[in-house]
Amino acid sequence: MSLASRISALVSRIGLEVKTKIGANHPGVARAWVSFGYTGTQIVLYAAHNVASVTRLAAGRYRVTFTTAMPDANYCWTALARSSTNSGTQRIAIVRASTDLKTPQYVDLSCATTAASFDDSTEINLVVYR
């Protein structure tokens, strides 16, 4: 058996082993993700997985509703927001502790400037793990 054949067989076996260990319910696999933005007067969904909708609640405030609810509200989410200008005006994705909600059905997130005023962005990316 040639070296190339042995490497090919090893890669195939590793692939089969990994496939049995990491499935859709593995905690390291994203349960939901979405890339969206607010352009003009509407939300634009660029791409998504397990996201039914994104609703703009107010300037810089959004609710992301999952297609299939999470088992509970003990999930982790992370988000990034793109600056809406090239002048150094940064945008950050945040959550306010008292009024933004995190439920099995949806998560609220906010986009703000570094001066802590809510503002929209043309691109916000959210990933949810559970």
Tens of pLDDT, residue by residue over 71-117, are 999 999 999 888 766 666 678 777 666 677 899 999 999 988 877 78
Burial, 118: exposed, middle or buried (Cβ in 10 Å; 0-12, 13-18, 19+)? middle
CA angle 89-92-97, nearest 5°? 140
Separation between Cα atoms, residue 66 and residue 63, nearest integer Å: 10
For the entire predicted model, the pTM comes to 0.78
